[in-house]
Chains A and B, each alone.
Chain A
């Protein structure tokens, strides 16, 4: 192996610096998609979890209970089908359904759908881990179902949900680079364009370094959260 050649084709500082502005633009797009997907996905996941828990309660009409079937189907599909496959299918399918949205929003839509499915399961497990006595006590004190959820259950559920939720959030944010496959100009796409026009792999290495710099603190944080919650 030739050291000079290695540095030349993978760690070429000149090329890296030349593509840094493009990579920075890509990084901004990656962060934008990630932020939108996290905010919308977590919100939708929380709503789904509360809906699924509340329709499971005693006294829910049969017909309303049937709502659980499509919801469970949606959640399980998102957990079984690789996000990249969902992304490609949705990207191709939307125009045929008369929905014309940009690649950017197609990607956001898919990540929101995937995250919401996983998050709803995590929140649901959290909600179910809160002792029934808590709900009973809150209800007999006169709080409504929604108040009980909001002021008593969800707060305690959040503690249980936090470690798996953190790692799922990291994993969906990492998945944002899949958007490059449908042509979104994210960090990875910009790196690939750089490779194509220089015949040199340095832009990809630079992108990899940026990804690691972005995610390493989050990975450390998730290890910390997991460790703390165990105690």
Chain B
């Protein structure tokens, strides 16, 4: 038991490593927020484009969405890591991670927003179009405000998944929470920092897990 505490809940190691871990946490939070915004905006834009019902646009978007739903995110991270420099895009790691998270998350957000838009009754479209609103006005003032309500539970759950996915940044050596925890664990040859990282995720994301359950139950 004391060996267990020594290796996993070692207060001394925690005291030594919290500074390193804090740097990682700060990077994780920044990357999560920026990527979340980018992914949501991308998803919304694509979902609105699909409202145009243009065959070509639809097919292109479906290919994009299915491709990214089919590709494991860690593989996408590796591809971005190896391929971007080749295209002359020497992005800083931070933006490479944001890019990977945004194009991956955007595919899921597109599906969610599209389902929300499609759930709005067709009569709403017809009514506002016949009142003289154009496509953009109908989207903005009639359809989207109603779609938002339907979209909130799955979008919350998807946001949670996106934030959890940020740990893959550690695989391409961006100094995020997991990367820094692994570094600290290696430095003092003790896995306590890893446990600390897990606990930080638990404390940080648990409210959102509860929120997701609550929203799903209320809307269901």
Residues of chain A having any CB pair with chain B under 8 Å: 1, 5-6, 9-10, 76-77, 79-86, 88-89, 92-93, 96-97, 121, 125, 129, 170-171, 174-178, 180-181, 188, 192, 195, 201, 204-205, 207-208, 211-212, 214-216, 218-220, 223
Known contacts A81-B202, A92-B191, A204-B79; 16 additional CB pairs below 8 A are A5-B86, A10-B83, A81-B201, A82-B165, A83-B164, A84-B178, A93-B8, A93-B191, A93-B195, A96-B3, A180-B74, A192-B78, A204-B78, A208-B75, A212-B70, A219-B66
Q: Which label, helix, strand, loop or mixed, suits the secondary structure of the B interface?
A: helix
Question: Known contacts A80-B202, A84-B168: does B82 contact A195 (CB below 8 Å)?
Answer: yes
B178 touches A85 (CB 8 A): yes
- Is B217 an interface position by the 8 A CB rule? yes
What are the residues of chain A within 8 A of B194 when measuring CB–CB?
85, 88-89, 92
Query: How distant is A171 from chain B, measured CB to nearest CB, in Å?
Result: 8
A220 touches B66 (CB 8 A): yes
Residues of chain B having any CB pair with chain A under 8 Å: 3-4, 7-8, 66-67, 69-75, 78-79, 82-83, 86-88, 160-161, 164-168, 170-171, 178, 182, 185, 191, 194-195, 197-198, 201-202, 204-206, 208-210, 212-213, 216-217, 220
B75 touches A177 (CB 8 A): yes
The count of A-to-B residue pairs whose CB atoms sit within 8 angstroms is 124
C-alpha gap A88/B194 in the complex (Å): 8
**26 A–B pairs (Cβ distance < 8 Å), ordered by A:** A1-B86, A1-B88, A5-B86, A6-B86, A79-B209, A80-B164, A80-B202, A80-B208, A80-B209, A81-B198, A84-B170, A88-B182, A89-B191, A125-B217, A174-B73, A177-B72, A177-B75, A181-B171, A204-B82, A208-B75, A212-B67, A212-B70, A212-B71, A214-B70, A216-B67, A223-B66
